[in-house]
Amino acid sequence: MSWEPTALPSQEGRTFVVTGGTAGIGYFVAEQLAATGARVVVAARSPERTRVALDAIRERVPDAILDSVPLDLTSLSAVRAAADRILALGGIDGLVNNAGLVSAPGNRMGGRQVTVDGHELVVGTNYLGHFALTALVFPSLRPGGRVVGLGSDSTRMVRLDPADLWSERRYRAFRAYAFSKHAVQGFGLELHRRLAAAGDSRGSLLAHPGYANGALSAPRPGINDGLPFGERFVAVLIPWLAQGKDRGAWPVVRAALDPEARSGEFYGPDGLLAGRPVLAKPTRSSARPEFGAALWEQSERLAGVRFPL
């Protein structure tokens, strides 16, 4: 295989924005990109966690070129403020839309929660916030630049119901998470179709990390210590079904950097849930052009943002 995830090509002079780069897969994406000589902008919600993440990257990559932007994907006004900060940085070469929720934090009763703007919290955070951010910063994406969205194998476990994407009719936490990833994949592929139709050299790619477990990750003090018992227990019980989040970042980084990668491609591990990054296929329902077109129109309306394409 021509792509070697432990020997990445130089990206000196290029700039990448990574949302949610303070923990998990996002942290390792940011660290691996920084090691290529690229300028990496970590866009995240917590100033303290951002400081810890940047310090951890510098510990591993002493000459890292780093910057940060506050980003709260649960608020569209905060997304606009973050986009203004990113636009002020100058042109970018990649936007990695990594940040997200698996479930609503602190939601012991398991009920439906909403964003500041009234949208179901998980889809609103994982998808709609990223749609708005991508639309707002898209003019700064240089020719040949890429948008990389994080899909998930959860889309193979939960059938998409486009008529109830926001769980207004029925709510289940994992269902909402899978719907958010259906939306991420549907948007990524629709963006690819529109770029291709316009003859635009920029690209839209997708990646999924497989089953990435923090307890199997390379240790990073302040980043992945103090993991929940459940995560550590699963890592001991079935380590052959999972991989660390450092390796879970590999398909994402390949989608962002591989010169042979093409817009519209989807990368994931070569095993069922773990392995080296190779081409994969999104679920058929996410890939349907009809879903992508309807989702695009709905997203522009809900986000109050016209995508400049």
d(CA 129, CA 74): 7
**Run of H or E including 265:** none
Catalytic site includes residue 177:
yes
Distance CA 145, CA 257 (A): 10
Nearest to 149 by CA among 57, 12, 286: 286
Q: What's the CA gap between 92 and 21, in Å, rounded?
A: 16
Q: Is the Cβ–Cβ distance between 253 and 33 less than 8 Å?
A: yes
Q: Please tell me which residue in 27, 127, 171, 177 is annotated as part of the active site.
A: 177
Q: Across the chain, where does the E strand assignment appear?
A: 15-19, 39-44, 65-70, 92-97, 141-150, 203-207, 212-213, 243-244, 266-269, 277-280
List C-alpha distances in Å: 113 to 79, 102, 178, 181, 304: 19, 13, 16, 17, 21
* Helices H / strands E in the chain, number of each: 11, 10
Containing 307, the helix (H) or strand (E) segment is: none
Active site residues: 177
